[in-house]
Amino acid sequence: MKILIATQKPFAPEAVNGIKAIADEAGYQTEVLEKYPDEAALCAAVKDADALIVRSDKVTATVLDAAPKLKIVVRAGAGYDNVDLSAATSHSVVVMNTPGQNSNAVAELVMGLLVYTVRGFFNGKTGTELRGKKLGLLAFGNVGRNVARIAKGFDMDVHAYDAYCPADAIEKSGVKAAPSADSLFENCDIVSLHIPATPETKGSIGYDKVMKLPKNGILLNTARAEVIDEDGLIKAMTERPDIRYIADIAPAKAAEFAEKFPGRYFATPKKMGAQTKEANINAGLAAARQIVGYLKDGITKFQVNK
Ligand code: 3PG
């Protein structure tokens, strides 16, 4: 059996070594393909792989067609919008993610970006503090919960709305449950997005929602660029010169945001949320263990294309 680790954005070496150790113990081979230039390179590498570990790498029908022996793909991370699930299912390939393994890393980045933003991108001028501000979490999964935990240490007033998590479960975590996504935008100084990119969420954050933000509102996106309706956000930020947009992954119209909204827009040059040694180790090793668990014992606990 051969596991291919295909990561355009490489894991920390410790994570790669940990994956190799788990594979060795199971009697499996490993191959590492990092910083590869294009889909063709992935197709060439995957041709004799039984299992594939990826990050945000795109696993398309073309990649699956090029992998006749492939049995399982594990997205070492939370969001699996980069894997063509229906193509995987029709190729009889199991797809899994590793939920929760990198969520602390993303949550720490959220707080770092917030401090950076309210201190004017460290421009030397007087900023504001996070203490006492209302933070609205749109979705209360693993990342949202970790942000809530850390934000409480900043004495922030934390609110959350999650279409799939009941209000009482949110309240049990010591967070105020909002009745709707709109109410978060109406009531919170900062709205932080933690929704996956799905057909329902893509383009769902746009003009109407952003215009509801109170004065000096901040929209923070460490989820996915695709959940934003960029034209709607640009229109809102043009009409409301007090609103700021901060993202961990540049929008498609990054140049327009940068030109039109200096001092009110920032995006990381590369998606940084899960880019810590610890998150790489947690997610990478979980992926390797899940592959061994599936190939040896048929365990499908984290399968997402059931
Ligand atoms: C995730 O969905 O787990 C994060 O967005 C991390 O993505 P990355 O592995 O490409 O950094």
Confidence of residue 291 (pLDDT cuts 50, 70, 90): very high
- By alpha-carbon position, which residue is closest to atom 11 of ligand 1? 274
- By alpha-carbon position, which residue is closest to atom 9 of ligand 1? 55
User: What is the per-residue pLDDT across 109-160, written as a single tens digit (0 to 9) for each?
Assistant: 999 999 999 999 999 999 999 999 999 999 999 999 999 999 999 999 999 9
Query: Quick check: CB of 104 below 6 Å from ligand 1?
Result: no
Distance CA 13, CA 105 (A): 17
Amino acid at 175: V
The whole-number average pLDDT for the span 24-29 is 98
Residue 3 is predicted with a pLDDT of 99
pTM above 0.95, yes or no: yes
Query: Quick check: CB of 274 below 6 Å from ligand 1?
Result: yes
The Å distance, Cα 281 to ligand 1 centre, comes to 13
The whole-number average pLDDT for the span 63-92 is 98
- By alpha-carbon position, which residue is closest to atom 3 of ligand 1? 77
Among 11, 59, 83, 102, which residue has the most ligand 1 atoms within 8 Å of its CB, making it the best to mutate?
A: 102
The whole-number average pLDDT for the span 206-226 is 98
Query: Quick check: CB of 97 below 6 Å from ligand 1?
Result: no
